[in-house]
């Protein structure tokens, strides 16, 4: 049976793979390809954040009454990650590989820490509290992530 944890963790891995494509392009000195690859990564991450913020977090908050807990922290981290992605893509647009690499190093560390919190704490909490809503939530998340 698919769980929120397994479904969303799989999407994290898909985003990681897209990020790795951008990193490989930069390491080969192909900043045009890196810009395209990073754009794909950024779109996938923004879709992931949007589906969490529009569907998963509000459903969890409505069920548990926890509005200022882990979902609030994740929303704040999403904003930080959005800013880092903007800075990184702007560095690629300026063809500044050194600036991009600095932004990407910070981004990957924050992204790993954020994903670990979601995968090891928040998603299991969602699976625990959203048992009755699970099929509908998973269907909606899948639809939202496929639309991007």
pLDDT in tens, 18-72: 999 999 999 999 999 999 999 999 999 999 999 999 999 999 999 999 888 999 9
Helix, strand, coil proportions of the chain in percent (round to 5)?
85, 0, 15
Q: Residue 148: pLDDT band by 50, 70, 90 thresholds? A: low
- Tokens 């390809």 map to which residue? 33
Classify residue 96 by its DSSP letter. Answer: -
Mean pLDDT, the chain, integer = 95
pTM value? Answer: 0.94
Among 35, 14, 5, 19, smallest CA distance to 108 is for: 19
Alpha helices in 52-69 (DSSP H): 57-64
CA distance 129 to 141: 17
**Pair of tokens at residue 77:** 């981290």
Q: Say what percent of the chain tops pLDDT 70.
A: 99
Contact 104, 81 (CB under 8 A): no
Say what the pLDDT of residue 28 is.
96
pLDDT tens, position by position, 76-99: 999 999 999 999 999 999 999 999
**Residue 146 — pLDDT band, cuts 50, 70, 90?**
confident
State the pLDDT confidence band at 109, using cuts at 50, 70 and 90.
Answer: very high
Q: How many residues does the chain have?
A: 148
């Amino acid at each position: 049976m698919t769980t929120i944890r397994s479904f969303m963790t799989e999407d994290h891995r898909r985003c990681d793979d897209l990020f790795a494509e951008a990193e490989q392009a930069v390491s080969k000195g192909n900043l045009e390809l890196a810009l395209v690859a990073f754009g794909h990564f950024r779109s996938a991450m923004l879709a992931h954040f949007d589906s969490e913020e529009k569907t998963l977090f509000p459903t969890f908050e409505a069920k548990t009454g926890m509005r200022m807990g882990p979902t609030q922290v994740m929303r704040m981290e999403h904003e930080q990650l959005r800013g880092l992605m903007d800075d990184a893509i702007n560095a690629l647009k300026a063809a500044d590989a050194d600036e991009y690499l600095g932004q990407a190093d910070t981004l990957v560390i924050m992204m790993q820490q954020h994903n670990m919190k979601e995968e090891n704490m928040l998603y299991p909490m969602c699976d625990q509290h959203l048992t009755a809503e699970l099929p509908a939530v998973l269907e909606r998340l899948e639809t939202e992530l496929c639309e991007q």
